[in-house]
Amino acid sequence: MSDVGVTVKKNEDFSEWYTQVILKSGLADYAPVKGCMILREDAIAMWEKIQAIVNRKIQATGHRNVYFPMFIPEGFLKKEAEHFEGFTPEVAWVTQGGNTPLEEKLAVRPTSETIMYATFAKWIRSWRDLPLKINQWCNIVRWETKATKLFLRTREFLWQEGHTAHATKEEAEAEVKYALQEYQDIMENYLAIPVVVGVKSDSEKFAGADYTTALEAMMPDGKALQMGTSHNLGQHFAHVFDIKYIGEDEKEHKVWQTSWGITTRTIGALIMIHGDDKGLVLPPKIAPTQVVVVPIPYKGAEPAEIAAKAKEIADKLREAGLSVILDDRQEYTPGWKFNQWELKGIPVRIEIGPRDLKQQQVTIARRDIKQKSFIKENEAVAAVEKLLEEIQNDLYAKAKANLEQLTAAVKTYNEFKQVMAGKGGFAKAAWCGNADCEAKIKEETGATIRVIPFKKEEPQTGCIYCGQKAKDVAYFARSY
């Protein structure tokens, strides 16, 4: 198994472990084009689950999916100066169509505000057209120059981008919060990843936004990972693209806008947080397959009987709405199969051998804590359903405990530096609000402000860097 299984331990070489788990579980692969990756079957299946959850949520609140072109003329990107400056260093440019050089080069979308909002100006005429609430599932390109990190840093990735326009500032603010709350629900209650939510500092906000709110998760190696963002765009783009409406007061007003998104990098977080030395560990609500049933035809029993029983159990689980693989392949041993499905992170394994058959029971093995139990055959479905729920909850609880362990309230800059030089994690520290202090801290420790949490804490000290009066307690961390 050594060339098939993961050969390094998670807590010994985290980065190598991460790459091996992904490649060996077959979740993804490097692509033959630099900086890009291939999302394989199970990764896409998880992304489709996330898509279904997001669609269900946002459609229930009146958002609808659309698709805008991927190409953005340079002139559009340039319209919002801050936006252009923020994105232009990482834009891939199409300069040639067929054999003909283009008159104006086209950006492959790094995000779609400009191409969408040029059209919003046409679609929105009166208050009756508001709010306009759309969403798009698509590929995005950002020309990363650092080394590729599967799921976390690739030149192309998949995402969802919601874009809304509202009649009032208050409605836009509510929408920004709405999107963030739904994301939090998805991360915590489906991906089993606890997050810290709050506002970005000005230097970390989206280029062109009034302010950016975000969800940040903590990886086991002490680095934070941004799980999603929701931007209040104010009226920046409305001014630049002249998006206005005639109100009920019969006067002309500019709209208020938001945009928000999550990407395939959330799958990277899932792997890092829940995986172990044997491979992936997937939360039942996101796992492409929730249960694998393995018949174990040892000698002394009739193989046909065991096969039939395994099929019967698999069918019953499927009828209950669970996603099940019945692994009745002849060319592999049960041991080989166990290793393979553990590597792939399937939450529950059911074994059916001669003893199980005789005692009218099944053997149920949990992937996460590798515990086995023996359940009466006729109680198997209910037991598996209960177990999946338990696993989902336990994974979250474990991740939550890790997050807490990796969060330190620090009172001095020395303490702060010790945290960052050591295991890393979040350092909760008082901050004066000055971008210079933020920049110095980044320069000296590599840590940035991940969020200023919504749940405000009263600063107990002066600014961790300059000692002046603190405005906020912020979450600092090094990050992916």
Nearer to its own copies, 104 or 458 (CB): 104
Nearer to its own copies, 44 or 348 (CB): 44
Would you tell me which residues interact with its own copies (CB under 8 A)? 29, 31-33, 36-41, 43-45, 48, 64-73, 76, 88-99, 105-106, 108, 115, 118-119, 122-123, 128, 134, 138-139, 141, 143, 145, 155-156, 158, 331
Q: Which of 430, 419, 420, 426 is nearest to 461 (CA)?
A: 430
Q: Closest approach of Cβ 134 to its own copies, in Å?
A: 7
393 Cβ neighbours under 8 A, 6+ residues apart: none
Our CB check for its own copies shows the closer of 35 and 297 to be: 35
Nearest one of 159, 143, 173 to 226, comparing CA atoms: 159
Find where tokens 């990098």 sit. Answer: 265
Q: Closer to its own copies by CB, 154 or 226: give it.
A: 154
Least Å distance, CB 142 to its own copies, is 9
Least separation, in Å, of the C-beta of 20 and its own copies?
A: 16
Count of C-beta atoms within a 10 Å radius of residue 308: 14
Instruction: Copy the structure tokens of residue 351.
Output: 């074994």
C-beta of 140: minimal distance to its own copies in Å?
10
And the tokens for 186? 């998805």
Q: Measured between alpha carbons, how far is 231 from 258 in angstroms, rounded to an integer?
A: 5
SS3 410: coil
CB under 8 Å to 22, separation ≥6 — which residues? 28, 150, 151, 271
For residue 121, the 8-state DSSP code is H
Give the C-alpha distances (Å, rounded to integers) separating 390 from 274, 304, 396, 397, 415: 15, 33, 10, 10, 38
CB 241 to its own copies: min, Å: 10
Q: How far is the CB of 62 from its own copies (least distance, A)?
A: 11
**Residue 33 or 401: which CB sits closer to its own copies?**
33
Helix axes 435-445, 413-421, angle to 10 degrees: 40
- Rounded to the nearest whole angstrom, what is the least distance from the CB of residue 83 to its own copies in the complex? 16
Distance, CA of 43 to CA of 26 (rounded, Å): 9
Instruction: Return the number of the residue (45 or 409) whose C-beta is nearest its own copies.
Output: 45
Output 134 or 301, the one with its CB closest to its own copies: 134
Q: How far is the CB of 325 from its own copies (least distance, A)?
A: 12
Secondary structure (3-state) at 342: helix
Kindly tell me which of 138 and 383 has the beta carbon lying closer to its own copies: 138
| Peptide linkage before 73 cis (omega within 30 of 0) | no
Closest approach, Cβ 345 to its own copies, in A, equals: 16
**Of 455, 454, 473, nearest to 463 (Cα)?**
473
Q: Which is nearer to its own copies, 270 or 387 (CB)?
A: 270
- Separation CA 165–CA 154 (nearest Å): 30
Alpha carbons 217 and 340: distance in angstroms, whole number: 29
**Contact by Cβ (8 Å): 245, 127:** yes
Whole-Å CA distances, 408 to 203, 329, 351, 419:
23, 50, 44, 8
Q: Least separation, in Å, of the C-beta of 161 and its own copies?
A: 14
In the bound complex, what is the minimum distance in angstroms from residue 223's beta carbon to its own copies? 25
For the bound state, the minimum distance from the C-beta of residue 358 to its own copies, rounded and expressed in Å, comes to 32
In angstroms, how far is the first alpha carbon of the chain from the final one? Answer: 32
Closest CA to 77 of 123, 108, 102, 120: 108
CA separation, residue 84 to residues 23, 74, 77, 318 (Å): 36, 9, 5, 50
Looking at beta carbons only, is 140 or 227 nearer to its own copies? 140
| Rg of the chain taking only CA atoms, in angstroms | 25
